[in-house]
Amino acid sequence: MRLKLTCIALLPGLTLAEQTPYEIDELVITGSRYQASGWQLPFSVNRIDAEQATLGKPGVNLSEALGSVPGLVVQNRQNYAQDLQISSRGFGARSAFGIRGIKLLADGVPLSNPDGQGQAATFDLDTLERIEVLRGPFASVYGSNSGGVIQLFSRDGEGTPKVALDTSQAAYGTNRTRVSAEGGNDKAGFIINRSHFETDGYRDHSGAILDKTFAKLTLYPDDLSKLSLSFSELDQNDTQDPQGLTWDQVQADRRSAAPSALQFDTRKTVDHRQFALNYERSFAAGTWQSTLYSGTRRVIQYQSIPVFVQAPASQSGGVIDFERRFHGIGNRWIQSFNLGSSLLTVTTGLDYDYSRDDRQGYENFVGATLGVKGNLRRDERNEVTSLSPYVQAAWQLGKLDLQAGLRHSQVEFDVDDRFLSNGDDSGSVTYRELTPTLGASYALLPALNIYASWGKGLETPTLNELSYSGPGNSFGFELKPATSEQIEVGLKARLAQATSLQLALFQIDTDDELVVESANGGRSRFQNAAQTRRRGVELALESRLSDTLRANLAYTQIDATYSKDFTSNGRLIEDGNHLPGIPARTLYGELAWQPVEGFSTAIEGLYRSKLYVEDSNTAKAAPSHALFNWQARFEQKAGALTFNQVLRIDNLLDREYIGSVIVGDGNGRYYEPGPERAWYVGAGVQYQFD
């Protein structure tokens, strides 16, 4: 649904075009769970459509699509063995691998384990319809470990059937090939996509091969219901891990791998398969939505834990080997009540998620040979169960919109230790918490909405954080969840016919923050020792300057500090120290130009201030940097055939920079250098049947 409003004067000194109609934001569901305009919702939510997220870009990982969202820090590590690092207003900044503290969803299915540790590599950007990103208090309506929400939606197959083939070549021995088919009508639609990616990597010992498959069948049994069945697969074999570098190693050779990575041939293999079913049906009284999913994930990872560190009986070796089986179901009922001059929408639901790891640990040596699977040192079954009922209500009262939510999160960890020669670490722990949210928005003017929201959140320890945090490197069942309280105020404005602005100010106070107690030999012990405060401002500006010119701007400033002293690695971390991994300022800008049909070009810039790498703030901070990227895309049509070509240059000015940091690394290998100037060329063809 597209709504028309009339612009009027907004702020002193800033006049909007009088009597000029404009279209408000397209609908989003993240945060409210029902379709609503992002313009009206009392929280920060951004929608990124497929064109902005993927055109002229390699299509390899999520970092390409999220730069225009304020509040997010996305670090492409150039290390496919460890996935991306993504933080939202500081949540997730400490994660050493994968995504932690942010709820990541794809077509309603969690890409995060119930303990909060997740990965983005399994999603296929080739089939993307849109991304919705939620920050702030209302993220907690998605349960524990939801400091922010990134929700991806694949498109449904529709229209006349078509097939496509794309191929690309890029710097550092990188190439990618994709083949796809899709189509549909008012009864059914399908989409099938297969891609193959290879790279030698920018750094030594950073090669990777990724094969992805995605298939989706959408059925429309009648005018009131929709059923989607999907399958996704990721095969990632022997992906090399160059690890982080010390600052001296960066200065000596920024493209090198850590010596221990070469010594132990650090690498990772992932085999991930997942099935999902989404069903939606409308009734006279409301709408029923249901999601059911199941899958398996096998991981074998060779680490560089030194041989002497593995000598104590409590150590679990240097090879991780686990097979995970997971499943879950989410059900919700959405009903609206017309109350005369107002509209009340109530959503009630229940989410259940379960994972079971059959996990072993092995020595990473046999005799004098390193980087091979040796003796068994760990054998256990890890189960994580999450059960969360919730209720949300939205009340539209003319110019005033009220939102409220309440969720009860219950996360249970159960460990069955079967390697008893070093003692029995079996046990269980359950975390429970009620997380309320409240929000209100008010239309001061037809072109200006102001809003405020408040909420509480819960962040449980992950299995990785629990594993070695108890006495004698046993499971740390005594760890508590971190709890947070968030406040956000902001405005959403239309400054002209095709210009929108969002401004948000926020404060986040956290108790029992999980921090490192000690880190030795590649193992970290965690503790609840800190209180933190994060205050910041976010600005997003999107404008269509003319029929051919479009601009985006995103700015974030955040002051993230500890508000209580604690001890880590035998050192006092004082009140006022900065949280590592969170830049004080980030700025993103993009200018896109499409002068004629069949040709477009864009330039984007990114600035990030320095990054502290550990809690004492005394180690060398990763320096600030500014990068510029340029791309051009061409398209030609000849009957049923459509051809496209892409040329892209990243790091246009050939700057040396640190792409990401490994917070608190016990060996001082904090830094992961980003690539120098890099080129990318791609070409594709699509055939559409009559």
The pLDDT value given to residue 420: 86
Hey, how many other C-beta atoms are within 10 angstroms of the C-beta on 248? Answer: 9
The token pair that represents 402 in the structure block: 């009220």
Amino acid at 348: T
d(CA 157, CA 161): 9
d(CA 96, CA 221): 45
Which stretches within 451-519 are classed as H helix?
A: 463-467
The pLDDT value given to residue 255: 96
Hey, how many other C-beta atoms are within 10 angstroms of the C-beta on 431? Answer: 18
Q: If 0-12 CB within 10 Å is exposed, 13-18 middle and 19+ buried, where does residue 419 land?
A: middle
| Closest-CA residue to 680 (of 636, 645, 656) | 645
Coil/strand/helix, residue 683: strand
The pLDDT value given to residue 263: 96
Residue that has been written with the tokens 């929400």 in this structure: 149
Chain centre to alpha carbon of residue 631: 24
Coil/strand/helix, residue 397: strand
Contact 632, 646 (CB under 8 A): yes
Identify the bridge partners of residue 406 per DSSP, sorted by sequence position: 391, 436
Contact 271, 235 (CB under 8 A): yes
Give the residue ranges of the chain where pLDDT is below 50.
1-24
Coil/strand/helix, residue 165: strand
Sequence-ordered strand ranges (E) for 171-224: 174-184, 188-199, 208-222
The pLDDT value given to residue 520: 67
d(CA 54, CA 180): 16
Dihedral of CA 452/91/121/538: which sign?
positive
Amino acid at 478: E
At 352-382, the pLDDT tens digits run: 999 999 999 999 999 999 999 999 999 999 9
Q: How many CA atoms lie within 13 A of 561 on its CB side?
A: 10
The pLDDT value given to residue 517: 82
R_g of the chain, CA atoms, integer Å: 25
The pLDDT value given to residue 459: 92
Residues 6 or more apart whose Cβ sits within 8 Å of residue 328? 109, 110, 291, 292, 293, 294, 351, 352, 353, 354
Residue 91 per-residue DSSP state = B
All domains in the chain, ordered by first residue: 4-688 (2.40.170.20)
Between strands 103-106 and 148-154, the pairing is parallel
Q: SS3 for 482-545, per residue?
A: EEEEEEEEEEEEEEECCEEEEEEEEEEEEEEEEEEEEEECCEEEEEEEEEEEEEEEEEEEEEEC
Between strands 566-568 and 625-638, the pairing is unpaired
**Could you give phi then psi for residue 506, rounded to 5 degrees?**
-145, 155
The token pair that represents 410 in the structure block: 């219950």
The pLDDT value given to residue 11: 32
The pLDDT value given to residue 643: 97
The pLDDT value given to residue 628: 97
d(CA 628, CA 688): 36
The pLDDT value given to residue 21: 39
**Could you give phi then psi for residue 473, rounded to 5 degrees?**
65, 20
Contact 331, 340 (CB under 8 A): no
| Closest-CA residue to 147 (of 158, 159, 133) | 133
Amino acid at 606: L
